[in-house]
Structure 1
Amino acid sequence: MRKKERYIAQGAIIGFGVTALIDILMQWLEHNDRGEKFTWESYDGNRALKIGFLGSAIGAGIGYVSYEYQSTLEQKQSFNSDEYLKSILRQEDLKQNPELLDNAVLIRDKLKLWIVNNFSEKLVSVPENTGSFAKRTANAASFDIDILLPFRRDSFDTLEDMYSWTFEQLHQKFGRQAKVVKETKAICISFEKNGQAINFDIVPGREIGNYKQDRRLNLYVKPNRFWKRGTCFKIDASTQRNMTINKPEARKVIRLLKIYNDTNYLNIPSVLLEQATVEALSERKYGVYTSNTDNLLNSMDYLAEKLGQEFFTDHGNTNNNLNNKIDSYSKSKAVELLRKDITKIEVNSNYLKEIFEGPYLD
C-alpha cells in the first residue's frame, strides 16, 4: 500500500472507530437522561454504524489532507534521489547477508559437483551458472540460483524424457534433505539453512546443433494441465548470460526495477525487466546517464512502452514474444502505474520514496 492510500485508510479506520465509540457513549447518556438502562437490546447499532461511516469519510479526508501537507513539506526539503537509490541497492546487496551468500555458494558448488559426477556421460558441457545470480542482478530479499544443464543431443529420445530423468535423479538424491518440485521449465530444489530458504532452479536443455559452438538449447516446457502435452522452447544461452556483461548501470536499474516490481505486486517477469532495461540504456535509445534516477526513469518509460506493444522480441529466441509471459490485465496495470509514477517523480523527486515503500523493504 502506497503512503497516500495508507494515510487515507488509517484516517478512515480511526474516524470510524472514534465516531462509533462517541455515538455509543451518547446513546448511554441519552438512556441515562431518560432513566433507562442501557443494554445491547436497547442499543441502536444501525445509528452507530451510520455515524461510524460518516466519521470514516471525515477521517479519510483528514488522512488525505495530512498526506498532502506532509508531501508539500517534504517537497521543500533537500532530497538527493541518486543517493536514495544507492541506499536501496546497498540494502538489497547480497553481501549484506554474508552468511546466506556463503551458504548459497557452498550448496551451489556441491550441487554442481554432484551433477558433474553423475550426469557427465549425458552432458555436452559442465553445469553453467545462469540467471540473476550469475548476471549480478539478484537482490537479497528474493533470488534463486539458476543452473543450466546442457545435455547431448543423443542423450534422450525426447525432451520430456530428459526433463523427467533429471527430476527423478535430483529427487532421489536430495528429496529427503530439500524440497524438489517440477516447474514450467526448471526443477526447483529448495534447501533450508539456519531458517533461511535457498532456492535453486535446475534447467535441463538439449543441444540443437553443436552446443559448444552455437550455445543453443531446446528446453522442455511442462504443461500447466495434466491433459495437455508438453512443448519445447529454444534458448541461446550465451545471449541471455551476456546480456548485462560490461553494463554496470543497467544492472543497477534492473535490480531497482525488480524491487519496484515486487513492492508493487506487478508480476512482470524478470526477463522483461532485464531486456527492456538493456535496450532502454543502449545508444540506440536513451543511452546511459551519470544519474541513477535518470536511468531508472528512462527504463521505466521504455518498459511501459514495450509492455503496451503487441510484440516484444526475445533476444534469446527471436520467435518468442516476451509479452506472452504476462497476462493482459497485469500488463495494463503495470503500464498505468509506470506512467503515473514517472509523472509524479518528475514533478517531485521525493515521490521515489513512495514507489519503493512496502513490505519488501521493511
Structure 2
Amino acid sequence: MRKKERYIAQGAIIGFGVTALIDILMQWLEHNDRGEKFTWESYDGNRALKIGFLGSAIGAGIGYVSYEYQSTLEQKQSFNSDEYLKSILRQEDLKQNPELLDNAVLIRDKLKLWIVNNFSEKLVSVPENTGSFAKRTANAASFDIDILLPFRRDSFDTLEDMYSWTFEQLHQKSGRQAKVVKETKAICISFEKNGQAINFDIVPGREIGNYKQDRRLNLYVKPNRFWKRGTCFKIDASTQRNMTINKPEARKVIRLLKIYNDTNYLNIPSVLLEQATVEALSERKYGVYTSNTDNLLNSMDYLAEKLGQEFFTDHGNTNNNLNNKIDSYSKSKAVELLRKDITKIEVNSNYLKEIFEGPYLD
C-alpha cells in the first residue's frame, strides 16, 4: 500500500472507530437521561454504524489532507534521489547477509560437485551458474540460484525423459534434506539453513547441435494441466548469461526494478525487466547517464513501452515473445502504474520514496 492510500485508510479506520465509540457513549447518556438501563438489546447498532461510516469518510478526508500537507513539506526539503537509490541497493545487497550468502554458495558448490560426479557421462559440459545470482542482479530479500545442466544430444530419447530422470536423481539425493518440486522448466530444490530458505532452480537442457560451439539447448516445458503434453523451448545460454556483462549501471537498475516489481505486486517476469533495462540503456535508445535516477526512469519508460506492444522479442530465442509471459491484466496494470510513477517523480523526486515503500523493504 502506497503512502497516500495508507494515510487515507488509517484516517478512515480511526474516524470510524472514534465516531462509533462517541455514538455509543451518546446512546448511554441518552438512556441515562431517560432513566433507562443501557443494554445490548436497547443499543441502536444501525445508528452507530451510520455515524461510524460518516466518521470514516471524514477521517479519510483528513488522512488525504495530512498526506498532501506532508508531501508539500517534503518537497521543500533537500532530497538526493541518487543517494536514496544507492541506499536501497546497499540495503538489498547480498553481502549484507554474509551468513546467508556463504551458506548459499556452499550448498551450491556441493550440489554442483555431486551432479558432476553422478551425471558426468550424460553431460556435455559441467553444470553452469546462471540466472540473477550469476548475473549479479539478485537482491537479498528474494533470490534463487539457477544451475544449468547441459546434457548430450544422445543422453535421452526425449526431453521429458531428461527432465523426469533429473528430477528423480535430485529427489533421491536431496528429498530428505530439502523440498524438491517440479516447475515449468526447472526443478526447484529448497533448503533451510538456520531458519533461512535457500532456493535452487536446476534447469536441465539438451544440446541441439554442438553445445560447446553454439551454446544452444532445448528445455522441456512441463504442462500446466495433466491432460496436456509437454513442449520444448530453445535457449541460447551465452546470450542470456552475457546480457549484463560489463553493464554495471544496467545491473543496478535491474535490481531496483525487481524491488519495485515486488513492492508493488506487479508480477513482471525478471527476464522482461532485464532485457528492457539493457535495451533502454543501450546507445540505440537512452544510453547510460551518471544519475541512477535518470537511468531508472528511462528504463521504466522503455519497460512501459515494450509491455504496451504486442511483441517483445527474446534475445535468447528470437521466436519467443516475452510478453506472453505476463497476462493482459497484469500488463495493463504495470503500464499504467509505471507511467503514473514516472510523471509524479519528474514533478517531485521525493515520490521515489513512495514507489519503493512496502513490506518488501520493511
Secondary structure at the residue paired with 1:147?
strand
Q: Which residue of 1 aligns with 2:222?
A: 222
Secondary structure at the residue paired with 1:117?
helix
Q: CA deviation at 1:135?
A: 0.1
> For 1:276-306, what per-residue CA distance to the aligned partner results, in whole angstroms no more than 9, with x for missing partners?
0000000000000000000000000000000
Q: Which residue of 1 aligns with 2:48?
A: 48
Identity of aligned residues (%): 100
Q: CA deviation at 1:355?
A: 0.1
Q: CA deviation at 1:196?
A: 0.2
Cα distance in 1 for residues equivalent to 2:25 and 2:195? 49
Q: Which residue of 2 aligns with 1:287?
A: 287
Secondary structure at the residue paired with 1:287?
coil
Cα distance in 2 for residues equivalent to 1:20 and 1:237? 62
TM-score, length basis structure 1: 1.00
Cα distance in 2 for residues equivalent to 1:26 and 1:104? 61
Q: Which residue of 2 aligns with 1:99?
A: 99
Q: CA deviation at 1:30?
A: 0.4
Cα distance in 2 for residues equivalent to 1:296 and 1:6? 25
Q: Which residue of 1 aligns with 2:238?
A: 238
Q: CA deviation at 1:103?
A: 0.3
Q: CA deviation at 1:134?
A: 0.1
TM-score, length basis structure 2: 1.00
> For 1:294-347, what per-residue CA distance to the aligned partner results, in whole angstroms no more than 9, with x for missing partners?
000000000000000000000000000000000000000000000000000000
> For 1:43-66, what per-residue CA distance to the aligned partner results, in whole angstroms no more than 9, with x for missing partners?
000000000000000000000000
Q: CA deviation at 1:244?
A: 0.1
Cα distance in 2 for residues equivalent to 1:118 and 1:30? 83
> For 1:158-202, what per-residue CA distance to the aligned partner results, in whole angstroms no more than 9, with x for missing partners?
000000000000000100000000000000000000000000000
Q: CA deviation at 1:26?
A: 0.3
Cα distance in 1 for residues equivalent to 2:218 and 2:186? 12
- CA-atom RMSD in angstroms: 0.2
Which structure 1 segments of 5+ residues have no match? none
Q: CA deviation at 1:255?
A: 0.1
Q: CA deviation at 1:101?
A: 0.2
Q: CA deviation at 1:105?
A: 0.3
Q: CA deviation at 1:242?
A: 0.1
Cα distance in 2 for residues equivalent to 1:155 and 1:319? 26
> For 1:115-134, what per-residue CA distance to the aligned partner results, in whole angstroms no more than 9, with x for missing partners?
00000000000000000000
Secondary structure at the residue paired with 1:225?
coil
Q: CA deviation at 1:9?
A: 0.1
Cα distance in 2 for residues equivalent to 1:82 and 1:37? 64
Number of corresponding residues: 362
Q: CA deviation at 1:209?
A: 0.2
Secondary structure at the residue paired with 2:287?
coil
- Asked if 1:65 corresponds to 2:93, the answer is no
Cα distance in 2 for residues equivalent to 1:190 and 1:30? 63
Secondary structure at the residue paired with 2:235?
strand
Cα distance in 2 for residues equivalent to 1:101 and 1:39? 61
> For 1:227-257, what per-residue CA distance to the aligned partner results, in whole angstroms no more than 9, with x for missing partners?
0000000000000000000000000000000
Within 5 Å, which residues of 2 pair with 1:156-175?
156-175=156-175
Which contiguous aligned blocks of 4+ residues in structure 1 show a shift greater than 3 angstroms? none
Cα distance in 1 for residues equivalent to 2:188 and 2:299? 30
Q: CA deviation at 1:72?
A: 0.1
Cα distance in 1 for residues equivalent to 2:11 and 2:208? 61
> For 1:73-129, what per-residue CA distance to the aligned partner results, in whole angstroms no more than 9, with x for missing partners?
000000000000000000000000000000000000000000000000000000000
Cα distance in 1 for residues equivalent to 2:310 and 2:28? 63
Within 5 Å, which residues of 2 pair with 1:209-358?
209-358=209-358
Cα distance in 1 for residues equivalent to 2:117 and 2:12? 62
